[in-house]
Amino acid sequence: MVKAWCMDDSQEDQRLPHKRAGDSDVSLEQLKDIGVEYFNINPQNFEENETLKKIRKDRNYTYMDRIECSREKLPDYENKIKAFFEEHLHIDEEIRFILDGSGYFDVRGKQDEWIRIFLEAGDLIVLPAGIYHRFTLDEKNHIVAVRLFVGEPVWTPYNRPQEDRDVRKEYVAKYITAA
Ligand code: KMT
């Protein structure tokens, strides 16, 4: 099952867990409260998996491809890893289903704190449009993920700050300032 925690302020290697000492873990409910959704799906034969088929149908995730992040497999590795870890948002949801390896998605919580989400095989995460986030590999330096999308994919990252962008305003109104 997915694990998430608040991050410490250390500037050490981004690939380390950076768990803030003394805190309890961040729950799935807390993630849901900031619009982050989680599903657990067997990665074996995933294309035939009924739960995944239903998620894709219900949410109209018509596009699907695969990305492998490692020094050997990811073209332009250094620049990509750097760009993934810049704090940014997208104007669409970001959906990733992990098939192998592991890594961290960091998202901003209600108080603008960093919440680190550890993902490994079987974890499917949906980040809502407009949430500030970033991604890093962990110390194993390898992850394979399926990317899903509604229609033709647009991966454009908009680095923080983006407070004047409509998608950001909508996100803040729905998840941060709403009572
Ligand atoms: C992204 O857009 O941040 C990525 O695709 C990261 C790699 S997928 C685990």
Q: Is the CB of 35 under 6 A from ligand 1?
A: no
| pLDDT 10s digits, 98-130 | 999 999 999 999 999 999 999 999 999 999 999
pTM above 0.85, yes or no: yes
Distance CA 131, CA 35 (A): 8
- What number is the average pLDDT over the span 8-34? 97
Cβ proximity of 20 and 111 under 8 Å: no
Calculate mean pLDDT across residues 83-89: 98
Which residue's CA lies nearest to atom 8 of ligand 1? 145
- Residue 96 CB less than 6 A away from ligand 1: yes
What lies within 8 Å, CB to CB, of 3 at 6+ separation is: 25, 117, 118
> Distance (Å, rounded) from C-alpha 35 to C-alpha 15?
25
pLDDT above 90: residue 178: no
Interval 71-100 mean pLDDT: 98
Helices (H), the chain: 28-33, 50-59, 77-84, 166-171
Average pLDDT over residues 147-164: 98
Tokens of 7: 């991050």
103 Cβ inside 6 Å of ligand 1: yes
pLDDT at 179 over 80: no
Which of 64, 68, 77, 84 to mutate for ligand 1's pocket (most ligand atoms within 8 Å of CB)? 84
